Amino acid sequence: MSRANNANGARVARSKGVPFSKNPVLAVRLPVWRSRVVLFVLFAAFAGLAARALWLQGLSTQFLQKQGEIRYARTLDLPATRGKITDRDGQVLASSVPVKAIWAIPDDVQEAPPEKLKALAKLLDMSDADLKKKLDSDRGFVYLKRQVEQDVADQITRLDIDGIQTRKEYKRFYPQGEVATHVVGFTNVEDAGQEAMELAQQKTLVGVPGSRRVIKDRLGHIVEDLESVREPHDGKDLTLSIDSKIQYIAFTQLKDAVEKFHAKAGAAVVLDVHTGEVLALANWPSYNPNDRSTLTGEQLRNRVMTDTFEPGSSLKPFTVGLALDTHRVTPYTKFDTGNGSYTIADKTIHDTHAHGVIDVQEIIQKSSNIGTSKIALSMPSQDMWEMFTKVGLGQQPKWGFPGAVAGRVRPYKSWRPIEQANMSFGQGISVSLIQLARAYMIYARNGDIIPLSFKKLSEPPVGTQIVSAKTAAEMRDMLEMVVLPGGTAVKAQVPGYRAGGKTGTAQKVINGRYSQSKYIGNFVGMVPMSNPRFIIAVMIDEPGGPVHVGGDVAGPAFSAVASNVLRAKNVTPDSTVTQIIIPENSEQETP
């Protein structure tokens, strides 16, 4: 009824000439103020949006720029090249070669064709399942493989798989391989030093990486290079004291000796008498630092620096040298060693033979434990302790080489007479091979000792006097007698050169007891005796079979190393003896 009435009203209004706007159908029933409020609110909203747009786009652009950079701008690390390591003559021992790291944005790789992913897995030397596992990661970035060779990385790039990217990095290469690895060391995948000089000189070698700001698209491609944030600074090169020729000689001769005597392991070191530079440091077993996939702890051990052992008779020259220097004995002072047995309290010391009455020279030549013990007991224990510590035994080395050990020399106040006697011939005291080699410098030089260096030196260091030059000369004469007929190291003779040194054989300590079947044989010597230039120390650990004394297992290795080194360095011969005759019944030192 109402619709009909309205329609009739509208017709009536038209018939009477009433304007359309006054039509009763359009009559406003709401209050006028409400429409004005709505209009004001809409105006205020548009004004706010306009002000915000003006603020963001005209007055303050930092926020939008920051948001844009978060999405597209990246800071790329520019790796610094690690410094080279060379020997004293410039031959490269370690260098960095450019390689690539292969990484992926997993979400972008998911749509890659299966045949391309299969080819990628093959190039990365991975199984399809391993690659899929990495790409299933929920992270936005994942490394697929590090240190990939350049030619392989180029093949991966040519696959043109979305989300697969490469990054420049460096891989360490060691041209000498297993020969010099225990002195050079190696780095990990992050180019950080892990062993030996690579670790010791990390701060010098590593350099400072740089960085650049770039813009990347969604697929990780660089579309614009913005700026250089910091230029990379390459690491400094390091020149070692090592002589590659001498290192190779020491390594090969040591390896041959270990294999010949079926030994567990061995170590050798060559020192420059004039400068204290380490010319060679070798261990066997060894490993190839370029491929460490099968590396074991036995191969990794740097026995020259980190293993300690009882030196045995090779410590006798320091007991005798102290007695000579304090004028308690002369080279011709006689001692009665009896029938080869000498009892102190309830303990008995033995010699291999009954030497009877012999002088100090013969005590060293024949390696008499009894004679050395009698000399030791004529001196205060404090004097012996001071002698050992002055030459570096029992002291923490300061050579800048990681893992170097101090060895052990017990405080003299606790020494009993039998302990003092035992220490005089190298029992109850522990040393490393390099400590023992350095200690012999006081006799190779004129009674003084100098620091060791693994870096090439521009000038020799200043020495510290330990014994007189006269004592050093007397001891050199005795040490030379050791390698001549009648001595314990006739197999250490060097054709064409005068040599000298001292053998050492020690029973290994197993579970707190001296083993009756496991020994360490060593020899420390110097050449040429007319003007010593090199100290060479060799240690053979657990030689197999009946031959185990230092003169038989370490002496020949010393001779082979010395002979080759002297000729390689063109040292003038100082002996007319070129044919070495080994007596059938040569002397042996007592373990």
User: What is residue 497's three-state secondary structure?
Assistant: strand
> Model confidence at 174, in pLDDT bands (50, 70, 90)?
very high
3-state SS of 525-564 is EEECCCCCCEEEEEEEECCCCCCCCHHHHCHHHHHHHHHH
Could you tell me the two tokens for 412?
């003299």
**pLDDT of the residue at 48:** 87
Residues 228 and 252 in one domain: no
Q: Choose from 101-110, 138-147, 290-299, 529-538 the range with maximum mean pLDDT.
A: 529-538
List, for residues 502-541, the tens digit of each pLDDT value: 999 988 888 878 888 899 999 999 999 999 999 999 999 9
CATH number of the domain where residue 152 is located: 3.90.1310.10
The strand ranges marked E within 363-477 are 448-449, 464-465
> Model confidence at 162, in pLDDT bands (50, 70, 90)?
confident
pLDDT at 23 over 70: no
Q: Is 545 left (phi over 0), alpha (psi -120 to 50) or beta?
A: left
Cβ count within 10 A of residue 200? 21
Residues 510 and 559 in one domain: yes
Cβ–Cβ < 8 Å for 415, 429: no
Average pLDDT over residues 400-405: 89
> Under 8 Å CB-to-CB from 301, ≥6 apart: which residues?
265, 283, 307
Could you tell me the two tokens for 481?
């007698």
**pLDDT of the residue at 419:** 93
Residues 343 and 422 in one domain: yes
CA–CA distance, 82 with 123 (Å, rounded to integer): 27
Average pLDDT over residues 426-442: 95
Give domain status of residue 586, yes or no. no
Residues 403 and 470 in one domain: yes
> One-letter amino acid identity for 155?
Q
Residues 496 and 438 in one domain: yes
Residues 514 and 393 in one domain: yes
Residues 232 and 261 in one domain: no
CA-wise closest residue to 311 among 267, 254, 348? 267
**pLDDT of the residue at 16:** 57
Could you tell me the two tokens for 27?
């009559």
List, for residues 241-271, the tens digit of each pLDDT value: 999 999 999 999 999 999 999 999 999 999 9
Residues 234 and 275 in one domain: no
**pLDDT of the residue at 570:** 94
Cβ–Cβ < 8 Å for 161, 120: yes
Could you tell me the two tokens for 433?
């091979």
> Model confidence at 320, in pLDDT bands (50, 70, 90)?
very high
**pLDDT of the residue at 583:** 62
Task: Please tell me the total count of domains within the chain.
Answer: 2
CA–CA distance, 533 with 570 (Å, rounded to integer): 12
Q: Is 488 left (phi over 0), alpha (psi -120 to 50) or beta?
A: alpha
3-state SS of 89-136 is CCCEEEEEEEEEEEEECHHHHCCCCHHHHHHHHHHCCCCHHHHHHHHC
> Model confidence at 158, in pLDDT bands (50, 70, 90)?
confident
pLDDT at 12 over 60: no
Residue 133 is part of which domain span? 75-239
Could you tell me the two tokens for 261?
């005597």
**pLDDT of the residue at 535:** 98
| Cα–Cα distance list, 544 to 205, 267, 370 (Å) | 42, 16, 28
**pLDDT of the residue at 222:** 54
pLDDT at 285 over 70: yes
CA–CA distance, 464 with 446 (Å, rounded to integer): 10
Give domain status of residue 46, yes or no. no
C-alpha gyration radius of the chain = 41
Give domain status of residue 513, yes or no. yes
Query: Could you please report the per-residue DSSP string of 19-43?
Result: -GGG-GGG---S-HHHHHHHHHHHH
Q: Which residue has the higher pLDDT, 66 or 394?
A: 394
CA–CA distance, 30 with 89 (Å, rounded to integer): 103
Give domain status of residue 169, yes or no. yes
CATH number of the domain where residue 433 is located: 3.40.710.10
pLDDT at 196 over 90: yes
Cβ–Cβ < 8 Å for 145, 124: yes
CA terminus-to-terminus distance, the chain: 134
CA–CA distance, 529 with 91 (Å, rounded to integer): 30
CA–CA distance, 122 with 97 (Å, rounded to integer): 23
Residues 249 and 233 in one domain: no
- Determine which of 154-158, 211-215, 414-418 has the lowest per-residue pLDDT on average: 211-215
Which positions are catalytic?
313
> Model confidence at 321, in pLDDT bands (50, 70, 90)?
very high
Average pLDDT over residues 480-492: 93
> Model confidence at 74, in pLDDT bands (50, 70, 90)?
low
> Model confidence at 168, in pLDDT bands (50, 70, 90)?
confident
Give domain status of residue 101, yes or no. yes
CA-wise closest residue to 184 among 56, 58, 92? 92
Give domain status of residue 332, yes or no. yes
pLDDT at 19 over 70: no
> Token pair 């522990």 is at which residue?
430
**pLDDT of the residue at 289:** 94
> Model confidence at 225, in pLDDT bands (50, 70, 90)?
low
CA–CA distance, 390 with 227 (Å, rounded to integer): 59
Give 585's Cβ-side CA count (13 Å radius). 2
User: What is residue 283's three-state secondary structure?
Assistant: strand
Residues 308 and 437 in one domain: yes
> Under 8 Å CB-to-CB from 422, ≥6 apart: which residues?
349, 428
Give domain status of residue 17, yes or no. no
CA–CA distance, 180 with 93 (Å, rounded to integer): 8
User: What is residue 359's three-state secondary structure?
Assistant: strand
Looking at every residue in the chain, the average pLDDT score rounds to 86
**pLDDT of the residue at 234:** 82
Residues 352 and 267 in one domain: yes
Residues 230 and 204 in one domain: yes
Give domain status of residue 465, yes or no. yes
Could you tell me the two tokens for 528?
């040429």
CA–CA distance, 192 with 2 (Å, rounded to integer): 94
Cβ–Cβ < 8 Å for 75, 213: yes
What backbone phi and psi angles, to 5 degrees, belong to 163? Answer: 90, -5
Q: Which residue has the higher pLDDT, 64 or 566?
A: 566
H runs (alpha helix) in 405-451: 417-424, 433-439, 441-444
pTM over 0.75: yes
pLDDT at 446 over 90: yes
**pLDDT of the residue at 105:** 77
